[in-house]
């Protein structure tokens, strides 16, 4: 069973292995130069990283992914990428959404538009560790958010979110596919969850 590695992952040390294929050495440590599989032959002290015909289950640039916000700071948001298409990533990939990648409009602070536990749809901009995401574009952003006061699921009313429980109003960088609409509507995007890959 060979293990999947991401670019930059340490795969061995030069004392132990001679690296072949998609491997580079830095300070005595062998690291993967691309997403691929590691094969180690301990008897020959050979280590190889190869791309496989089987695509590793790793998001790549341009992919549309779903994630959960694990932390929101003024300059960036940390997102756990949990799924893509029908694939679920367990454990999730940790990704960063820098303030400059949130919107085509000017953003004062990232944590005013995202908060912990928001569910987001985003595009992968870079996979060289760490993953960088973008939510520029109307289809990208938050698709489900909880009230900061009481924890209820918020409903979207055009550009704002309203808590059906406590009446609080809040803002997010909303996706046009936000799932819960005010007055009981449910966006049809709930059904196409995972199928709207776009490279725009
Ligand atoms: Zn509330």
Quote the distance between the C-alpha of residue 75 and its chain's center.
Answer: 17
Is there a contact between 93 and 81 (Cβ–Cβ < 8 Å)? yes
- Tokens standing for 172? 């997010």
Ligand 1 center to 153 CA (angstroms) = 8
Residues pairing with 39 in the sheet: 48
**Distance of alpha carbon 146 from alpha carbon 102, whole angstroms:** 19
Burial class (CB in 10 A: 0-12, 13-18, 19+), 151: exposed
Q: How far is the CA of 83 from the centre of ligand 1 (A)?
A: 27
Instruction: Give distance in angstroms: CA of 149 to centre of ligand 1.
Output: 5
Residue 115 C-alpha to ligand 1 middle, in angstroms? 14
Q: Note if the pTM is more than 0.85.
A: no
User: In the prediction, which pLDDT does 91 show?
Assistant: 79
Q: What angle do CA 38, 44, 49 make, to 5 degrees?
A: 15
CATH of the structural domain 64-189, one choice from 3.60.70.12, 3.40.220.10, 2.40.50.140, 3.90.79.10: 2.40.50.140
How remote is the CA of residue 166 from the centroid of ligand 1, in Å?
Answer: 4
Ligand 1 mean position to 57 CA, how many Å?
37
CA of 68 to the centre of ligand 1 (A): 19
d(CA 134, CA 115): 16
SS3 label, residue 165: coil
Query: How far does Cα 6 stand from its chain's mean position?
Result: 14
- The residues, any chain, with a CB within 8 Å of residue 156's CB and separated by 6 or more, are 162, 174, 178, 180, 181, 182
Intrachain domains 3-50 and 64-189 with the same fold: yes
Domain range 3-50, CATH architecture: Beta Barrel (2.40)
How many Å lie between the centroid of ligand 1 and the Cα of residue 160? Answer: 14
Per-residue pLDDT of the chain (200 residues; tens, 9 = 90+): 467 777 778 899 999 999 988 888 888 999 888 777 888 998 999 999 887 555 457 888 999 999 999 999 999 999 999 888 767 777 788 999 999 999 999 999 999 999 999 999 999 999 887 899 999 999 999 999 999 999 999 999 988 999 999 999 999 999 999 988 887 656 554 444 444 444 33
Where are the domains positioned within the chain?
Answer: 3-50, 64-189
């Amino acid at each position: 069973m060979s293990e999947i590695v991401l670019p930059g992952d340490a795969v061995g040390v030069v004392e132990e292995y001679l690296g072949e294929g998609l491997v580079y050495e830095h300070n005595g440590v062998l690291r993967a130069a691309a997403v691929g599989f590691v094969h180690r032959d301990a008897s020959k002290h050979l280590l190889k990283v190869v791309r496989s015909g089987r695509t590793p289950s790793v998001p790549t640039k341009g992919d549309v992914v779903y994630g959960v916000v694990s932390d929101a700071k003024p300059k960036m948001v940390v997102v756990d990428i949990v799924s893509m298409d029908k694939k679920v990533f367990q454990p999730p990939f940790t990704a960063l959404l820098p303030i400059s990648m949130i919107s085509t409009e000017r953003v004062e602070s990232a944590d005013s538009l995202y908060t912990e536990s928001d569910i987001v749809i985003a595009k992968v901009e870079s996979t060289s560790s760490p993953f960088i995401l973008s939510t520029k574009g109307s289809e990208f952003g938050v698709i489900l958010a909880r009230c900061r006061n009481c924890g209820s699921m918020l409903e979207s009313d055009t550009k704002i979110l309203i808590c059906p429980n406590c009446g609080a109003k809040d803002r997010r960088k909303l996706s046009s596919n936000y799932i819960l609409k005010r007055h009981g509507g449910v966006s049809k995007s709930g059904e196409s969850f995972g199928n709207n890959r776009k490279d725009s």
